[in-house]
Structure 1
Amino acid sequence: MLPPLFCTHPAGLDRANRLAEHYGLVLAGTLPEAGHALVLDEFKLALHSLGKGAPGPVFVDFGAGAADWRRKHGGGRGQGVAKACGLKGGATPRVLDATAGLGRDAFVLAALGCKVDMVERSPVAAALLADGLIRAGQLADVAAIAERMHLRFGAAAPCLTDWQGERPEVIYLDPMFPESKTRSALSKKEMHTFQQVVGPDEDADALLAPALALASVRVVVKRPRHAPLLAGMRPSHSLEGESVRFDCYIVPRSVG
């Protein structure tokens, strides 16, 4: 069940109604006492956990915090996602991030010059990401980066099968992986809340074949380091980090 949407200020009611209609949300008059809710305040849209001891809200902010630090100090083209997607030399491939989530890796690629199309199936994630892009577009430091990021709300599989737009050179897949209670590197409390609401990508294995058919150069799959291969298919090569790995599937060049 989707969390309700609650607007805290009268001036935002029109926008709240548009959000509810576009993403299939229910606009609530009051906040529930427990569970989760999307809250639109004067400044941003955020996913809140409700009740005593609840963690802080989840929202997208490309102009501050972790995203801003990663842009300035994260290692540029030396980052795993950049190397996996082929950003070597002056290459800035067009990327389709078919499981965009909160857009963190997409922002890294866009900050390095790539045009990034994003697809997100979850109404909650898509609404948060769209809100973050709007606010990023109003900030001088990151507005140009946000312009290189384009979001589509919908399921990835049909979008990959019937892609309408410029063919991507790289398709990036980072499906939400079911959390394990034994994982020592469990996400922060806020991200754990996000994963609870959005849920795993149950169709993840079904995304690889249409991605390989659509991409002109490569498909990159981000996985927890010890997770099984997506669809059981061995990649051309993998790049391993401390907690994640990038499985790279090189698309054979057509002859003639």
Structure 2
Amino acid sequence: MSYALAVVADAAERLPAAQALADKLQLPCLGCLDPVEVSESAYVLQRGERLQLCATGRKAPGPVCVDFVGGALAHRRRYGGGKGQQVAKAVGLRGGFYPRVVDATAGLGRDAFVLASLGCEVHMLERNPVVRALLRDGLERLQRASLEDTELAAIAMRLTLEEREVSAGEWLAEQAAESVPVVYLDPMFPERGKSARVKKEMAAFHQLVGGDEDADALLEPAFAACYYRTVVKRPRLAPFLADKKPTLSLEGKSGRFDIYTKHGVPG
């Protein structure tokens, strides 16, 4: 039998955790297997020291995981430009003003972590249960690392994940009008076949998760819920979300931030 996705463990002692995850996600558990040896499924969630989404087979690209402690995000936390980063400018962060942000399409949590590391409280929403499992695992490892690192401890306190299985549109519609300082949207944009800049492992991730085809429907409830602004991250040449022109845009080499303002942020 073949499956789109299954769960494996990297060692016998992690098999109970792998089985529990499989039960929660209603996926088959294939036991202790290396992803390169799996033939029943195109992708597996591997339960190891970290939870990883892996393509299977011997020529598969590398795994995808959420790492808030090391790797690229650790480098960006130390050397990424601080409050001068475009994402910080887009949400209105400045000295003495650190708005609470709801990242309604959190994905792998990279921008959410950057904003939390700069001082914002960030609540992440992610409707895809597999991606949410990766986020939860990343947060748990961040919290363990924070026990020995005061800087990480402060970030961990500011970064939370919505545990309910709820779509961003539903969650935003539940909020009182103008109750969220900043709503941040970074909907998954369908990849173009010519996009050489997308790493192979991320291309595999996009293939499994798919694009947010209902992204246009998020702008209205996001803007209703926000107090200061709604920020939409887009590829540089992508159309405006819901074809609605923003108040202003911050453009970079490959992407841009479209900003829909409501009330002005403190000067």
Q: Tell me how large the CA RMSD over aligned residues is.
A: 1.9
> 1:157 aligned to 144, 160, 169, which one?
169
Does 1:35 pair with 2:42? yes
1:110 maps to what in 2? 116
Aligned residue identity for 1:232? D
Between stretches 24-33 and 93-102, larger displacement belongs to 24-33
Q: Distance in 1 between matches of 2:248 and 2:219?
A: 15
Detail structure 1 runs of 4+ shifted over 4 Å in the superposition: none
Shift in Å, 1:109: 0.3
Q: Distance in 1 between matches of 2:153 and 2:7?
A: 27
Between stretches 57-66 and 134-143, larger displacement belongs to 134-143
Shift in Å, 1:154: 3.0
Q: Is the 8 A contact 1:98 1:171 kept in 2?
A: yes
1:10 maps to what in 2? 12
Question: What SS does structure 2 have at the residue aligned with 1:216?
Answer: strand
Q: Distance in 1 between matches of 2:66 and 2:209?
A: 15
Identify unmatched segments of 5+ residues in structure 2: none
Give per-residue Cα distances to partners, 1:90-137, cap 9 Å, x unaligned.
Answer: 211000000000000000000011110100011121111110110011
Aligned residue identity for 1:4? A
Does 1:99 pair with 2:99? no
Question: What SS does structure 1 have at the residue aligned with 2:106?
Answer: coil
Q: How does 1:159-174 map to 2 (within 5 A)?
A: 159-163=171-175, 167-174=179-186
1:249 maps to what in 2? 260
Question: What SS does structure 1 have at the residue aligned with 2:141?
Answer: helix
Aligned residue identity for 1:209? E
Does 1:223 pair with 2:234? yes
Does 1:182 pair with 2:188? no
Does 1:144 pair with 2:154? yes
Aligned residue identity for 2:29? L
> 2:129 aligned to 123, 131, 152, which one?
123
Q: Distance in 2 between matches of 1:184 and 1:16?
A: 34
Q: Distance in 2 between matches of 1:97 and 1:14?
A: 32
Shift in Å, 1:250: 0.4
Q: Distance in 2 between matches of 1:89 and 1:144?
A: 17
Does 1:132 pair with 2:138? yes
Q: Is the 8 A contact 1:17 1:27 kept in 2?
A: yes
Q: How many residues align?
A: 250
Q: Distance in 2 between matches of 1:56 and 1:248?
A: 34
2:63 maps to what in 1? 57
Q: Distance in 2 between matches of 1:144 and 1:17?
A: 33
Q: Is the 8 A contact 1:96 1:117 kept in 2?
A: yes
The structure-2 alpha-carbon separation of the partners of 1:197 and 1:143, relative to structure 1 and needing over 3 Å to count, comes to farther
Shift in Å, 1:194: 1.0
2:75 maps to what in 1? 69
The structure-2 alpha-carbon separation of the partners of 1:97 and 1:73, relative to structure 1 and needing over 3 Å to count, comes to same
Higher helix share: 2
TM-score (normalised: structure 2): 0.88
1:206 maps to what in 2? 217
Shift in Å, 1:252: 4.6
Q: Distance in 2 between matches of 1:239 and 1:110?
A: 20
Seq. identity, %: 51
Q: Distance in 2 between matches of 1:21 and 1:218?
A: 39
Q: Distance in 1 between matches of 2:58 and 2:15?
A: 27
Q: Distance in 2 between matches of 1:218 and 1:131?
A: 30
> 2:206 aligned to 195, 200, 216, which one?
195
2:52 maps to what in 1? 46
Does 1:80 pair with 2:80? no
Q: Distance in 1 between matches of 2:4 and 2:226?
A: 32
